Amino acid sequence: MITKNLRDKNFLKRLAWINGLGLLIILLGPLLIDPQLKHHADFFYPNNRSYSIIRWLWLFMSIPIGFGTYYFGYGWKKRRWSNRTLDIAGPALMLVLPALAISSLFPPERPHFGIIVWTFAYGFVTFFTALYRLDISQQSRRSTRHLERLKATIFLWQQITLYSGAGYLAFVIFLVSVASTVAKVMIRDEYQKEQFFLVNMEVAQIMLYSVFIVVGPLNQALKTTQFYIKKLSSSHNLKLNPSCPPHERFEDLRRTNGE
């Protein structure tokens, strides 16, 4: 059930998993890919990007990032603080700021371009997941009984869900189509095996990222749409049953709003 509070435990756990696993995947990329690219166009030295065990220890940063996302949000709720900007941007900053700092610790590429790109990509997931949830948090506090307004809101969220999914699908097709071009720019033409390896890894990263898009903002947009549909159904039932006692109408509306 969708509750009225943005900072409920179940939603915070989902943000924590997104941030924790996101950072893990962000850092695994260079650790697994870079040592295999021995003929990079900018770093043409065999084995010059074989990272030591110290770099692998940065993977454990995903644990405090995940727990930090959860407990920061829960502590924010316990203290009854309310700030719309921090509600939206706070979870994403918990991932982006540490990841950007770590990106400078992968020599000789400082900062590491791949880490920066994927950091903002996964920060985008967290940001829009929180943004779509916040709309429920704000709207559920209002006893909106105007059917036309609810219908317009439902239509809006249906369009957001549809166009977000279609837009991202088109974007994925574009990324996959240019993956080979990117590989040719990064790896010299005479080393086709490395180019083929890089293309496969890029596609795998894109597909994995797509899972986060579906689980994060797209799933939340769908839940928001369902929330307003249920609210419209309840309001419509109240309108069709004027004989219903006032206190029962109030209780039904409260349940619909997730209170």
Within 13 Å of residue 249, how many CA atoms lie on the same side as its CB?
15
Mean local confidence (pLDDT), 29-49: 74
For a pLDDT cut of 70, what percent of the chain falls above it? Answer: 75
Structural domains of the chain, count: 1
Taking only the tens place, the pLDDT of each residue in 8-28 is 788 888 999 999 999 999 999
Is the pLDDT confidence value at 83 over 70? no
Report yes or no on 168 lying in a domain: yes
Report yes or no on 130 lying in a domain: yes
Confidence grade of residue 121 (pLDDT, cut at 50, 70, 90) = very high
Helix 62-78 × helix 84-102 angle, to 10°: 160
- Per-position DSSP letters for 162-187, written without gaps between them: HHHHHHHHHHHHHHHHHHHHHHHHHB
pLDDT for 59 equals: 93
Task: For residue 14, give every residue at least 6 positions away whose Cβ sits within 8 Å of its Cβ, in sequence order, or none.
Answer: 129, 215, 216
Confidence grade of residue 46 (pLDDT, cut at 50, 70, 90) = low
Report yes or no on 2 lying in a domain: no
- How does the average pLDDT of the chain come out, rounded? 78
Number of residues in the chain: 259
pLDDT for 141 equals: 45
C-alpha to C-alpha distance for 209 and 206, rounded to whole angstroms: 5
Q: What is the largest CA-CA distance in the chain?
A: 82
C-alpha to C-alpha distance for 183 and 194, rounded to whole angstroms: 8
Report yes or no on 106 lying in a domain: yes
Report yes or no on 3 lying in a domain: no
Among 11-25, 64-78, 89-103, 216-230, which is the least confidently predicted range? 64-78
Three-state secondary structure string covering 8-27: CHHHHHHHHHHHHHHHHHHH
Confidence grade of residue 96 (pLDDT, cut at 50, 70, 90) = very high
Q: What is the pTM of this model?
A: 0.79
Is the pLDDT confidence value at 140 over 80? no
Domain hosting residue 76, numbered range: 9-256
Report yes or no on 160 lying in a domain: yes
pLDDT for 143 equals: 47
